[in-house]
């Protein structure tokens, strides 16, 4: 079956077009076409998507969209938004989009109004957020909660952490000072640091786990609980005052000791890496307040509508996804860098790593066969200006071809709290903008961007022709960030359709956990033997156990 996929008419036409494009340098493409930017950028709402620095021509778009149509992308988008079981290996829908439906937008899936469920949870969340931000959520001894620690990992950590960092300018003080912290690693690294600094009497924990069985999270939660019991003492209402739970498994939350009133629900039909829009986003809402959190949802919803309604040729997620297909499957590029030119987005590359690689890092088709083409490239990144001092050397002069997404807001430091230092800070933002544009230009054009380059020795020359896209936001706001994240979610879906894989499961992360349990039993002396241990593992264990 996968054989026939690349033999299809649209694939073949695309590959043939790829042959024509081979050898064309971006500097020539720009030199030969003054209209290039006009033709190869699109805009929706607060996001401008410039893909004129990709190694494509207008015809390329036609070929790519033909492929999308041949693969039935429109029908698959409809299936996604109809709540069909697009997550076939687990027989579930993937309705993260429903988490950002407006309140008056009824959405009945299999006889149940999903919007109603979602908004009931948002309402519960809002009550908690208001109580905490008003300085009226109390610890067991009646102290005001001043610190919130989110205990979660993967989707229950990366999303809330990334958005909290990105929207720091919206963390306007509530009536009471409040700091939000994150603890994720199973070795307790962050938690041990936090417990040293915080007062147990005024600390609230959010235990965030879709399954409520993630060992990383539960081990951190247990440590937090013991710490509270030690610091505050045996006190009535300790769990009720200091622990909130967010999970799809209500019974497990109850079993752990989360008070029913402190439980927030999510559902099987939300994947962990798509869940920051739900109560998993509680740390975000605590930091920025509920109105700003609702703006985030509204921004994402605007992208949901765009994705469903706008023709492919102007559809940002479709174009972003299909250009990725071009780079991966036609140009054979296997590395993709995420480069935000805004320090607030420093967690965004981590977040996109999970979103793209856990979703599309697959090699078995929906039909159960091994695919014979490349799927998700290696995705990594860092804040652009810092990465310039780290891995840009490889981008400019290494032997690997890498595609890049530059992400940058046009305007910054307009918020009232920046009043005093605004002039200096705006100047710093201008510096970042200039670097962003200079780097993408040099990567694309190479020596053509440098006057008199021909005279320089080889080691000072730039090959260029590294393709990149630029996503220019008007400003980084809750609304524009929501739209940006949803853009990438849908991009990932578009690519999964072309690659014929399921982006909503993650079987590849399961087995390691199981083997770790056997290994743990051996380390702790609960079992005498580790089955089938290879000599490397056996050797390391021998050293560890002395």
Partner 1 sequence: MQLEVYGDTLCALVSATALASAGNQVFLHLPEGNVAQQLAQGDCPFREPGLADLMAEQSQAGRLVLSSLESPPHQQSTVVWLALSPDALELAVQIVAMLPTHRAERWLVVNQSTFPVGTSESLQRALVENTTESETGSAVVSLPDLIIEGNALQSFMRADSWLLGAEQVWAQKQVAELLRPFNRRRDAIMLMGSREAEFTKLAITGMLATRLSYMNDMANLADHLGVDIERIRQGMGADKRIGEAYLYPGCGFGGLSFSRDVMSLASTLQGSGMQAQLLDEVLRINERQKEVLFRKLWRHYGTELRGRRVAIWGVSFKPESSRIDNSPALKLIEALWAQGVEVHVHDPRALQVLGEWAGERDDLVLHDDPYAAAEGADALMLVTEWKAYWSPDLLRLKMSMAHPLLLDGRNVWDPDFIKQSGFTYFGIGRS
Pick the closer one to partner 1 by CB: 6 or 124: 124
Cα separation, 475 vs 484, in Å, equals: 11
Q: Please pick, from the candidates 6, 24, 36, 138, the single residue that binds partner 1 as defined by CB under 8 A.
A: 138
Please tell me which residue in 19, 38, 236, 389 is annotated as part of the active site: 389
CB of 198 to partner 1, least distance (A): 17
Is residue 86 within 8 A of residue 366, CB to CB? The reply is no
Is residue 502 within 8 A of residue 87, CB to CB? The reply is yes
Q: Confirm or reject binding of residue 418 to partner 1 (CB under 8 A).
A: no
Q: Confirm or reject binding of residue 141 to partner 1 (CB under 8 A).
A: yes
Is residue 340 within 8 A of residue 348, CB to CB? The reply is yes
| Sole window of 45-53, 106-114, 139-147, 320-328 interacting with partner 1 (rule: CB under 8 A) | 139-147
Cα separation, 300 vs 309, in Å, equals: 14
Q: Confirm or reject binding of residue 240 to partner 1 (CB under 8 A).
A: yes
Pick the closer one to partner 1 by CB: 161 or 238: 238
Q: In the 3-class helix/strand/coil scheme, how is 13-27 assigned residue by residue?
A: HHHHHHHHHCCCCHH
Q: Confirm or reject binding of residue 140 to partner 1 (CB under 8 A).
A: yes
Pick the closer one to partner 1 by CB: 263 or 354: 263
Contacting partner 1 within 275-334 (CB under 8 A): none
Q: Confirm or reject binding of residue 236 to partner 1 (CB under 8 A).
A: yes
Q: Which residues contact 208 (CB under 8 A, 6 or more apart)?
A: 150, 151, 152, 156, 157, 160, 217, 245, 246, 247, 280, 282
CB of 195 to partner 1, least distance (A): 22
CB of 499 to partner 1, least distance (A): 52
Cα separation, 399 vs 438, in Å, equals: 21
Q: Confirm or reject binding of residue 134 to partner 1 (CB under 8 A).
A: yes
Number of residues that bind partner 1 (CB under 8 A): 14
Cα separation, 189 vs 245, in Å, equals: 21
Q: Confirm or reject binding of residue 173 to partner 1 (CB under 8 A).
A: no
Q: Confirm or reject binding of residue 441 to partner 1 (CB under 8 A).
A: no
Q: Confirm or reject binding of residue 3 to partner 1 (CB under 8 A).
A: no
CB of 262 to partner 1, least distance (A): 12
| Sole window of 118-126, 136-144, 349-357, 389-397 interacting with partner 1 (rule: CB under 8 A) | 136-144
Q: Confirm or reject binding of residue 136 to partner 1 (CB under 8 A).
A: yes
Look up 389 and say whether it is catalytic: yes
Q: Confirm or reject binding of residue 233 to partner 1 (CB under 8 A).
A: no
The secondary structure element, H or E, covering residue 424 is helix 422-445
| Sole window of 27-35, 120-128, 134-142, 290-298 interacting with partner 1 (rule: CB under 8 A) | 134-142
Q: Which residues contact 382 (CB under 8 A, 6 or more apart)?
A: 339, 346, 349, 390, 391
Is residue 284 within 8 A of residue 167, CB to CB? The reply is yes
Pick the closer one to partner 1 by CB: 134 or 425: 134
Q: Confirm or reject binding of residue 421 to partner 1 (CB under 8 A).
A: no
- Angle, helix 73-81 to helix 290-309, in steps of 10 degrees: 140
Q: Please pick, from the candidates 21, 117, 144, 523, the single residue that binds partner 1 as defined by CB under 8 A.
A: 144
Nearest to 96 by CA among 545, 504, 540: 504
Is residue 126 within 8 A of residue 120, CB to CB? The reply is no
CA atoms within 13 A on the CB side of 83: 14
Look up 25 and say whether it is catalytic: no
Token readout for 78 is: 């409809």
Q: Confirm or reject binding of residue 241 to partner 1 (CB under 8 A).
A: yes
Pick the closer one to partner 1 by CB: 131 or 192: 131
Please tell me which residue in 96, 358, 429, 490 is annotated as part of the active site: 358
Q: Confirm or reject binding of residue 132 to partner 1 (CB under 8 A).
A: no
Return the sign of the alpha-carbon dihedral for residues 165, 169, 174, 176: positive
CB of 302 to partner 1, least distance (A): 35
Look up 513 and say whether it is catalytic: yes
Q: Confirm or reject binding of residue 131 to partner 1 (CB under 8 A).
A: yes
CB of 441 to partner 1, least distance (A): 42
Task: Please report the DSSP string for 37-103 in residue order.
Answer: HHHTEEEETTEEEE-TTSS--HHHHHHHHHHHHHTTHHHHHHHHHTT---BGGGTB---GGGGG--T
Q: Confirm or reject binding of residue 337 to partner 1 (CB under 8 A).
A: no
CB of 217 to partner 1, least distance (A): 25
Token readout for 429 is: 């933002």
β-bridge mates for residue 472, sequence order: 48, 408
Q: Confirm or reject binding of residue 199 to partner 1 (CB under 8 A).
A: no
DSSP state of 212: S
Is residue 470 within 8 A of residue 50, CB to CB? The reply is yes
Pick the closer one to partner 1 by CB: 18 or 240: 240
Distance from the first to the final alpha carbon of the chain: 53
Binding site for partner 1 (CB under 8 A): 131, 134, 136, 138, 140-144, 235-237, 240-241
Could you list the active site residues?
Answer: 358, 389, 513
């Amino acid at each position: 079956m996968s054989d026939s996929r690349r033999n299809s008419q649209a694939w073949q036409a695309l590959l043939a077009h790829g042959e024509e494009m081979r050898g064309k340098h971006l500097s020539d493409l720009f030199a030969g076409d003054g209209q290039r930017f006009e033709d190869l950028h699109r805009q929706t709402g607060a996001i401008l998507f410039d893909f004129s620095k990709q190694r494509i021509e207008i015809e390329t778009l036609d070929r790519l969209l033909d492929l999308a149509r041949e693969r039935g992308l429109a029908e698959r988008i409809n299936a996604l938004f109809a709540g069909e079981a697009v997550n076939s290996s687990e027989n579930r829908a993937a309705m993260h989009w429903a988490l950002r439906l407006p309140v008056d937008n009824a959405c009945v899936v299999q006889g149940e109004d999903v919007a109603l469920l979602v908004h009931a949870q948002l309402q519960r969340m809002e009550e908690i957020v208001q109580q905490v931000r008003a300085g009226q959520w109390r610890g067991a001894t009646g102290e005001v909660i001043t610190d919130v620690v989110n205990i979660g990992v993967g989707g229950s950590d990366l999303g809330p952490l990334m958005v909290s960092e990105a929207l720091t300018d919206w963390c306007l003080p509530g009536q009471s000072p409040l700091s939000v912290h994150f603890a994720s690693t199973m070795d307790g690294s962050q938690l041990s640091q936090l417990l040293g600094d915080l007062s147990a009497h005024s600390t609230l924990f959010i235990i965030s786990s879709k399954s409520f069985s993630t060992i990383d999270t539960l081990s951190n939660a247990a440590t937090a609980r013991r710490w509270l019991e030690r610091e505050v003492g045996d006190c009535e209402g300790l769990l009720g005052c200091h622990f909130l739970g967010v999970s799809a498994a209500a019974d497990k939350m109850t079993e752990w000791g989360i008070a029913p009133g402190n439980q927030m629900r999510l559902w099987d039909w939300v994947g962990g890496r798509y869940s920051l829009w739900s109560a998993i986003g509680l740390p975000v809402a605590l930091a920025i307040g509920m109105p700003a959190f609702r703006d985030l949802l509204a921004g994402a919803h605007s992208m949901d509508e765009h994705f469903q309604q706008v023709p492919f040729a102007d559809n940002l997620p479709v174009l972003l996804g299909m250009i990725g297909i071009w780079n991966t499957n036609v140009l054979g590029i296997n590395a993709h860098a995420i480069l935000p030119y805004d320090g607030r987005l420093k967690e965004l590359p981590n977040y996109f790593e999970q979103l793209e690689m856990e979703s599309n890092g697959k090699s078995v088709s929906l039909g159960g066969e091994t695919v014979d083409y490349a799927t998700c490239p290696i995705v990594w990144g860092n804040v652009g200006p810092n990465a310039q001092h780290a891995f840009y050397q490889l981008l400019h002069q290494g032997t690997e071809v890498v595609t890049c997404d530059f992400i940058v807001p046009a305007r910054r430091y307009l918020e009232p709290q920046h009043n005093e230092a605004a002039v200096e800070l705006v100047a710093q933002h201008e510096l970042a903008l200039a670097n962003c544009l200079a780097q993408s230009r040099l990567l694309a054009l190479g020596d053509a961007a440098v006057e008199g380059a021909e005279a320089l020795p080889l080691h000072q020359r730039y090959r260029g022709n590294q393709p990149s896209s630029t996503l220019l936001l008007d400003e980084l706001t809750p609304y524009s960030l929501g739209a940006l994240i949803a853009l990438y979610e849908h991009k990932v879906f578009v690519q999964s359709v072309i690659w014929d894989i399921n982006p909503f499961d993650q079987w590849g992360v399961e087995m390691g956990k199981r083997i770790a349990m056997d290994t743990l039993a051996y380390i702790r002396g609960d079992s005498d033997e580790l089955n089938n241990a290879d000599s490397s593992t056996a050797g390391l264990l021998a050293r560890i156990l002395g």
